[in-house]
Amino acid sequence: MTDSDPRRTLLLDLLQSALSAVGGRRTTCVALRERASSWAGSDPVWVIAVGKAAAAQALGAHDAFGSRIARVLLITKDGHTDAEARKLPHLTLIEAAHPVPDARSLQAGAALVEWVADVPRAARLVFLISGGASSLAEHLNPGVTLAELQRLNHEGLASGADIASLNARRRQISNLKGGQLAARLRGREALALFISDVPGDDPAVIGSGLMGAAPGGDHVERVVVASVTGAMQAVAERVSAVNALLAHRAPTQPALTIAEGLQRFNADAERLAVRFVHELHFSRAPLHVWGGESTVRLPAHPGRGGRNQHLALAAAKTLAGEEKLFLLAVGTDGTDGATDDAGAIVDGDTCGRIAAAGLDVDDCLRRADSAPALAAAGDLVHTGPTGTNVGDLVLGLKLGKDSALAWLNARSRP
């Protein structure tokens, strides 16, 4: 990624603050420690973690309970289990495919069913659920095949359907989702902690309702420990803290103010791109913060990229020629679509750099092939797996280089 401009450094600093605030390890540990003191005795704890943030959440559970943990079932996406998580004691690890499930997803679903049946009555049962669980673990209704499940996911992704409607279709063929896993507990108590990547942060929707309420009720305590709202709030808190330093160390420099209202979104990526750039252009505030999930309708044979890269590339068209405007769009899990990049930072020269590389922005958008264009521009953002998954974060910046440098210097000076 092009990194010579201080405004890019500023945006990446704010992104890191957001990711740290909603990290699966920290938020899970805090939530469990708040409850562990009320769990009398030394009952063993069984942990089931499913989703892209499952490894980080499992580590958080270990931080909270230590040797009390008797078993850990960790189901996550390929490449999202770090070395520390792999060394957890009493661990069963299943890595599966995302966003389209594979045979390992069915193995993971079978393991979930077996574990819930085998948990001793004396054990405390903790579920840790994050986005991606829909694809990573499934137990299909009788007569439904893996090929049908994969087709459903392909069709949902290609149509640009929002996550709620796609999850509703997934639940129709599942023997786990929509509260059915909770029903298998047969009334026993459990705790479920969620990292939300869906609008409304509803446990009945996260992971297609993998640990949503059972029909007829259950005895599961459900707590959302992280969401994109927390990530956006962390950006605001980081800005406020550095502004205080700036006022002390460079009092003549104006503060980095944020547009009122941390806005959540759920709409078409190209329409959002135009909206975000217009809001940034006409606002007096130099920083805008948005969070949510965009959608992209894919062509028959899409190229390489993800919804954040698509949004960023579409925004680059509207940003063209603007000297002070920058826009960052990333998936907070560190991946975007079927790529290993989180997203991109684009500016007024992005389209020019793409054209100089012999590529056409409109053609890349039409073919859903944003990654090669953004790579040619040096605009891709790579974080690696982040240990969280609260959806997408978009930051818009309208600032000159000198002001960005003053802000960064205030941040870094002792």
**Contact status, residue 264 vs residue 227, Cβ threshold 8 Å:** no
The three state secondary structure string of 45-79 is EEEEEECCCHHHHHHHHHHHHHHHEEEEEEEEECC
**Contact status, residue 162 vs residue 297, Cβ threshold 8 Å:** no
Of 325, 233, 336, the residue nearest 294 (C-alpha): 336
| Domain boundaries of the chain, sorted by first residue | 6-20+229-412, 23-226
Edge-to-edge strands, sheet with 392-398: 263-268, 287-295, 392-398, 325-331, 343-347, 380-381
The pTM of the full predicted model, rounded to 2 decimals, is 0.94
Please give the torsion angle defined by the CA atoms of residues 91, 94, 95 and 97, in that order, rounded to the nearest 10 degrees. Answer: -150
The whole-number pLDDT of residue 161 equals 67
Quick: pLDDT tens for 177-210.
999 999 999 999 999 999 999 989 999 999 989 9
What is the per-residue DSSP string for 241-283?
HHHHHHHHH-TTSPP--B-SS-EEEEEEHHHHHHHHHHHHHH-
Residue type, 110: A
Q: Is pLDDT larger for residue 252 or for residue 385?
A: 385
φ, ψ (nearest 5 deg) of residue 88 = -60, 135
How many alpha carbons fall within 13 Å on the CB side of residue 395? 33
What is the per-residue DSSP string for 136-197?
H---BPTT--HHHHHHHHHHHHHHT--HHHHHHHHHHTBSSTTTHHHHTTTT-EEEEEEE--
pLDDT at 42 over 80: no
Task: Count Cβ atoms within 10 A of the Cβ of residue 142 and give its class: 0-12 exposed, 13-18 middle, 19 or more buried.
Answer: exposed
Long-range contacts of 235-242, Cβ-Cβ distance < 8 Å, separation of 24 or more: 235/14, 235/17, 235/18, 235/262, 235/289, 235/395, 236/262, 236/289, 237/17, 237/21, 238/13, 238/14, 238/17, 238/18, 239/14, 239/287, 242/407, 242/410, 242/411
- Class of domain 6-20+229-412 (CATH, top level): alpha beta
pLDDT at 308 over 60: yes
Provide the token pair at 66. Answer: 């230590």
The whole-number pLDDT of residue 262 equals 82
Of 308, 344, 340, 300, the residue nearest 326 (C-alpha): 344
Give the position of tokens 């969280």: 388
Query: How would residue 41 be classed by pLDDT, with cut points 50, 70 and 90?
Result: low
Q: Which fold has domain 23-226?
A: Rossmann fold (3.40.50)
Quickly count: other Cβ atoms within 10 Å of residue 103's Cβ: 10
Quickly count: other Cβ atoms within 10 Å of residue 81's Cβ: 21
Handedness of CA 53, 223, 124, 111 (dihedral sign): negative
- Peptide bond before residue 99 is cis, with ω within 30 degrees of 0: yes
The whole-number pLDDT of residue 371 equals 98
| Bridge partner list, 126 | 47, 191
For residue 220, give the H/E element and its range. Answer: strand 219-226
Q: What gap in Å lies between CA 43 and CA 65, rounded to an integer?
A: 11
Query: How would residue 153 be classed by pLDDT, with cut points 50, 70 and 90?
Result: confident
Query: How would residue 158 be classed by pLDDT, with cut points 50, 70 and 90?
Result: confident
pLDDT at 164 over 90: no
| Bridge partner list, 326 | 347, 397
Mean local confidence (pLDDT), 84-103: 96
Q: What gap in Å lies between CA 346 and CA 93, rounded to an integer?
A: 38
Task: Count Cβ atoms within 10 A of the Cβ of residue 46 and give its class: 0-12 exposed, 13-18 middle, 19 or more buried.
Answer: buried
The whole-number pLDDT of residue 402 equals 93
Length of the chain: 414
